[in-house]
Amino acid sequence: MMVSALIEREQENMANPIRNGVFIAVVGPSGAGKDTVIAYAREHLGDDSDVRFVRRVITRPCDGASEHHDTLDDVAFAEAAAAGAFALTWEAHGLKYGIPADVDVAIANGRVVIANGSRTALPALRARYENVVVVEIVARPEILAERLARRGRESRGEVLARLARAADVTIAGPGVVTIDNSGEREIAGRDFVAVIGKAIAFSDVGRF
């Protein structure tokens, strides 16, 4: 409770948009490999004090097959949001997602924050933080279809519908970097680590 109160007081002293650090939002269609690319970066930069990898809160059990996250049910999530536990929340595919409030403090202190994001949350994200880089992870349609089918969570028709929806989405605005993850994990991973390196340099000298 005391920690939450301290974070809340620090947030009150911050002007929006929050400056100094960089928020890197990783977005892209299901099957593109967002979690895989983030995991690669964590393996290589997890010990860097300038970088913070966000553990999201989601109203879905953590099954171990995708990202590691904290779980709350709908009621507990709403209570946490009302208590100021999140810097940002959004809804997608019938689930609620939250970014912990202490991310505001990390950005204000000049750190690079990395989170699996959502296209629908980008306007709110850009309004809250001055320096936002959107990394769009993509893959060829046949690769996406193969990966989604391998998960076994959806029927063929549902997979095709999901791919059609993804194809209709265009990400606009400044600071968008696209990384193709159709091939080996290391290729996209290295490209992502390079983007993070530029963000760290910006946080150091005030220029991205």
Residue 32 is assigned to a ligand binding site = yes
Residue 34 is assigned to a ligand binding site = yes
Residue 197 is assigned to a ligand binding site = no
Nearest CA-CA partner of 181 in 11, 17, 40: 40
Rounded Cα–Cα distance for residues 66 and 167 (Å): 22
Bridge partner residues of 58 (DSSP): 71, 97
Bridge partner residues of 51 (DSSP): 112
Residue 118 is assigned to a ligand binding site = no
Nearest CA-CA partner of 58 in 92, 14, 22, 18: 92
Residue 74 is assigned to a ligand binding site = no
Residue 35 is assigned to a ligand binding site = yes
Residue 30 is assigned to a ligand binding site = yes
Residue 183 is assigned to a ligand binding site = no
Question: Is the CB of residue 195 less than 8 Å from the CB of residue 177?
Answer: yes
Rounded Cα–Cα distance for residues 97 and 198 (Å): 27
The binding site consists of: 28-35
Mark the binding-site residues for ATP, compressed into ranges.
28-35
